């Protein structure tokens, strides 16, 4: 079987078994094609993606570093290759995993930035709730902080995503995976108020399945939300660099600061791996140390 066929078989299996997004699958394809091209160019090697050796992979990683790629890029490429090799092992296409003893570069992940609880309060109160757009913005910001949604998930909500009776929201996240997230009373009330008092006026007789709509009656977009969150942050007097993910990060850290269970946060955020969620524990510890040093008389 040719390398291109092996790659396609792997991608097809990933699509079926893990439901990965198209851009993720394309990244895997490019990473594996890069390795296949390297193997084909080696004068003293007749190895393919099916028969490559640990030495082949060590040489490839060395070649990646020689191209002045960052450790993050090398780690990502080698992670894709490791995933592929484990696939070969599980599907019994080869008896061993050539990446088993391979040392991937260690990446120091930067800690996500967050709002303080006071800044969140100021931001959530910034929209002018005497206007239809202000009611919409207040509902979006409140819901984002209450649930830790990704911005893409927030703007893709439909009118039947919320279960008001049980205080839950149904979200379709990465890999088309569904999850249920509890919604607090304040957020639920703001969304309900927006739906009753603002959404019909914004639609002006038009129909839409999107929960959050623009002044023209279309679905809210990530770009529009990015603009409005920055505008409201300025109005709230927040001077730090703003990104839509700041409320998602703040949601996780503030829950940890108030003794929430890490596994529960993982489920609400939709993280496939607990290690992704654990980065928020480091932020919580850093914040605790900063508070101690600032407030203890003998720190």
Q: 88 with 94: CB under 8 angstroms? A: yes
HEC per residue, 161-199: CEECCCCEEEEECHHHCEEEEECCHHHHHHHHHHHHHCH
For this structure, is 271 an active site residue? yes
For this structure, is 248 an active site residue? yes
Predicted TM-score (pTM) of this structure: 0.63
Cα–Cα distance for residue pair 132/20, rounded to 1 Å: 37
For this structure, is 177 an active site residue? no
pLDDT tens for 277-293 read 877 776 665 555 555 46
For this structure, is 174 an active site residue? yes
Q: Which residue is catalytic, options 77, 136, 150, 232?
A: 150
Per-residue pLDDT of the chain (299 residues; tens, 9 = 90+): 688 888 998 898 888 877 777 888 899 999 999 999 998 888 666 688 888 888 889 899 899 989 988 888 888 888 889 999 988 888 899 899 888 887 776 666 667 788 999 999 999 999 999 999 999 999 999 999 999 999 999 999 999 999 988 999 999 887 778 899 999 999 999 999 999 999 999 999 999 999 999 999 999 999 999 899 999 999 999 988 888 788 999 998 898 888 888 888 888 998 877 777 877 776 665 555 555 466 546 54
Cα–Cα distance for residue pair 149/183, rounded to 1 Å: 11
Cα–Cα distance for residue pair 212/137, rounded to 1 Å: 9
User: How is domain 117-295 classified at the architecture level of CATH?
Assistant: Orthogonal Bundle (1.10)
Q: Which residue is catalytic, options 77, 199, 248, 249?
A: 248
């Amino acid at each position: 079987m040719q390398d291109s066929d092996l790659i396609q078989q792997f991608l097809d299996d990933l699509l079926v078994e893990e439901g990965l997004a198209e851009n993720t699958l394309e990244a895997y394809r490019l990473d594996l094609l890069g390795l296949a091209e390297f193997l084909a160019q080696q004068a003293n090697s007749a190895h393919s993606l099916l028969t490559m050796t640990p030495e082949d992979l060590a040489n490839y990683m060395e070649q990646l570093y020689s191209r002045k790629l960052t450790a993050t890029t090398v780690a990502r490429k080698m992670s894709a290759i490791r995933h592929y090799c484990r696939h070969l092992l599980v599907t019994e296409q080869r008896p061993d995993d050539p990446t088993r003893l391979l040392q991937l570069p260690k990446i120091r992940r930067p800690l996500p930035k967050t709002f303080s609880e006071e800044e969140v309060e100021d931001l959530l109160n910034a929209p002018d709730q005497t206007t239809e757009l202000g009611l919409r913005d207040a509902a979006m910001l409140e819901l984002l902080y209450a649930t830790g949604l990704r911005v893409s998930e927030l703007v893709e909500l439909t009118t039947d995503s919320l279960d008001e009776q049980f205080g839950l929201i149904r979200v379709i996240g990465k890999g088309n995976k569904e999850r249920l997230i509890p919604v607090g009373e304040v957020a639920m009330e703001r969304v309900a108020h927006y739906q009753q008092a603002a959404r019909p006026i914004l639609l002006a007789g038009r129909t839409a399945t999107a929960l959050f709509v623009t002044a023209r009656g279309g679905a809210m977009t990530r770009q529009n939300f990015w603009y409005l969150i920055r505008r409201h942050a300025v109005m709230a007097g927040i001077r730090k660099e703003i990104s839509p993910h700041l409320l998602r990060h703040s949601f996780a850290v503030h829950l940890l600061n108030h003794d929430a269970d890490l596994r529960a946060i993982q489920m609400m955020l939709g993280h496939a791996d607990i290690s992704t969620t654990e980065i928020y524990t480091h932020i919580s510890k850093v914040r605790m140390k900063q508070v101690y040093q600032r407030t203890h008389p003998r720190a």
